[in-house]
Amino acid sequence: MNVNQTPIYNAANLAMFMVNVSHLLLPLFRPTGPNFSVNNLKAHFRGRKYLTETLKLLLQLPKPIVIDQIFANIVRIGSINRL
C-alpha cells in the first residue's frame, strides 16, 4: 500500500475542521433538543441536501410552509434522538 504524507495531512486537517464545526453548531440545536447529537446534525444537513435536490426536480415549488413540513419529516428519518 502506497501512503503519501500530503493526503494523510489533508485528511487529518479536514477531520479536525469538522469536529470544530460540529462543536460550534451543536449549541444552536440544543435548546430545542437537549439530546441533539452529531448524528442528528449529520441527518439535519443530509436532509436539507436531499430536500433541495428534490425541489429542483419539481416543475412548481410548493408553499414555504409545506417545504418546512417536508424538511421536518426528512430530517426525522435519519435522526437518532427525537426532538
Residue owning grid cell 435519519: 78
Q: What is the pLDDT of residue 56?
A: 92
User: So what's the pLDDT on residue 32?
Assistant: 86
Distance between CA atoms of 22 and 14, rounded to whole angstroms? 12
pTM: 0.73
The C-alpha cell 501512503 sits at 3
Question: Is the predicted pLDDT of residue 9 greater than 90, yes or no?
Answer: yes
Q: Check pLDDT > 90 for residue 18.
A: yes
pLDDT band (50, 70, 90) for residue 83: low
- Give me 59's grid cell: 416543475
* pLDDT at residue number 1: 56
Rounded mean pLDDT of the chain?
Answer: 88
Q: Which residues contact 61 (CB under 8 A, 6 or more apart)?
A: 55, 67
Domain boundaries, the chain: 5-78
